């Protein structure tokens, strides 16, 4: 494999003090002391200072140790390029130099991860292996919402609003909602271009995958009432509009 890491570059970088003979965890501890409030890692979801990162790494290291991680163990990681992946790697490095750290493709689902975990158990290890991943396989949401044909194009950039039908765009919008898992989800005619069977399947999927999310739908279809606990109508009242709760157990608005 070609590399730009030559002996000359190593010597040059070491002599100038760019590279020090120290581990990543030593580097982290130094900057957590000297620059505790400076940003250390940033992704699209969160940001951590050096002090926060050091505390997270210590907590995860204790958790790994409690799960039996020790020299000879294998940590199988299935995480995207998120801050959590960095935290896990640093925690593993802090525990022991004898660990093996392996990554699994984030697009793998439960079946694939189960197979990989089974294969890892066939390797003679001193202390077994520990899989680490997300609570749900969210990169499979494009398949769950009925868009399996897009599985190979997750990283592609294109004019999707011109290439996908209105129904496909609405399915994609709901896949984004599954990824973000918001506290409140506002859906404005979000299934208007889908048939009623597809609409029902998608709302059942939202209820299953987002149990803690409050879903507020705006639409003209009467079929939407079956997926909500309250039915609120904006009706004309003279020269103004008022809200009316038509739910079975209606409360004053």
Quickly list H helices, the chain.
Answer: 7-15, 24-34, 50-66, 83-95, 110-121, 141-144, 160-163, 166-180, 196-209
Give the domain ranges of the chain: 7-135, 152-245
**In this structure, what are the phi and psi dihedrals at residue 27, rounded to the nearest 5 degrees?**
-60, -45
Q: What's the predicted TM-score (pTM) here? A: 0.45
Q: What pLDDT score was predicted for residue 103?
A: 58
SS3 220: coil
The Cα–Cα gap between 83 and 144 comes to 26
CB atoms within 10 A of CB 250: 12
- Fold exhibited by the domain 152-245: Rossmann fold (3.40.50)
The answer to whether 148 and 142 have CB atoms below 8 angstroms apart is: yes
- Please name the residues in contact with 183: beta carbons below 8 A apart, sequence gap of 6 or more: 212, 213, 214
> What DSSP line would sit under 75-123, residue for residue?
EEEE--SSHHHHHHHHHHHHH-TT-EEEE--TT--HHHHHHHHHHHHTS
- Output the pLDDT for position 186: 94
152-245: same fold as 7-135?
yes
Q: 23 in the Ramachandran plot: left (φ > 0), alpha (ψ -120 to 50) or beta?
A: beta
CA dist list (Å): 34 to 78, 87, 111, 132:
32, 19, 45, 31
What fold is seen in the domain 7-135?
Rossmann fold (3.40.50)
Which pLDDT score, from 0 to 100, does residue 1 have? 44
Task: Please answer whether residues 231 and 247 qualify as being in contact, where contact means their C-beta atoms are separated by less than 8 angstroms.
Answer: yes
Return phi, psi of residue 42, to 5°.
-140, 135
Walking along the chain (253 residues) 10 residues at a time, the average pLDDT comes out as: 75 86 85 93 86 93 82 72 85 71 53 51 46 51 65 74 87 86 91 89 89 90 88 85 71 49
Helix%, strand%, coil% for the chain, nearest 5: 45, 15, 40
Q: At what angle do helices 196-209 and 166-180 cross, to 10 degrees?
A: 10
Backbone angles phi, psi at 164, to 5 degrees: -100, 145
23 phi/psi in degrees, rounded to 5: -85, 170
Residue 154, pLDDT score: 66
Q: Residue 126 has what pLDDT?
A: 40
């Amino acid at each position: 494999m070609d590399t730009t890491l030559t002996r000359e570059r190593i010597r040059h970088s070491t002599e100038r003090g760019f590279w020090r003979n120290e581990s990543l965890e030593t580097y982290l501890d130094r900057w957590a002391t000297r620059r505790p409030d400076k940003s250390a890692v940033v992704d699209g979801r969160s940001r951590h200072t050096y002090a926060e990162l050091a505390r997270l790494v210590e907590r995860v290291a204790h958790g790994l140790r409690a799960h039996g991680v020790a020299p000879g163990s294998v940590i199988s990681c299935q995480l995207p390029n998120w801050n959590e992946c960095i935290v896990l790697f640093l925690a593993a490095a802090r525990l022991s130099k004898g660990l093996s750290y392996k990554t699994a493709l984030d697009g793998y689902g439960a079946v694939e991860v189960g197979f990989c975990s089974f294969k890892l158990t066939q390797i003679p290890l001193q202390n077994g292996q520990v899989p680490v991943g997300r609570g749900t396989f969210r990169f499979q949401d494009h398949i769950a919402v009925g868009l399996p044909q897009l599985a190979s194009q997750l990283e592609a950039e294109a004019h999707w609003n011109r290439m996908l039908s209105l129904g496909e765009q609405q399915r994609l919008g709901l896949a984004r909602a599954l990824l973000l898992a918001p506290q409140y989800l506002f859906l404005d005619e979000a299934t208007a271009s889908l048939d009623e069977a597809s609409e029902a399947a998608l709302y059942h999927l939202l209820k299953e995958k987002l149990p803690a999310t409050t879903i507020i739908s705006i639409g003209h279809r009467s079929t939407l009432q079956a997926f909500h606990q309250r039915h609120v109508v904006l009706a004309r009242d003279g020269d103004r509009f008022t809200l009316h709760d038509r739910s079975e157990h209606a409360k004053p608005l």
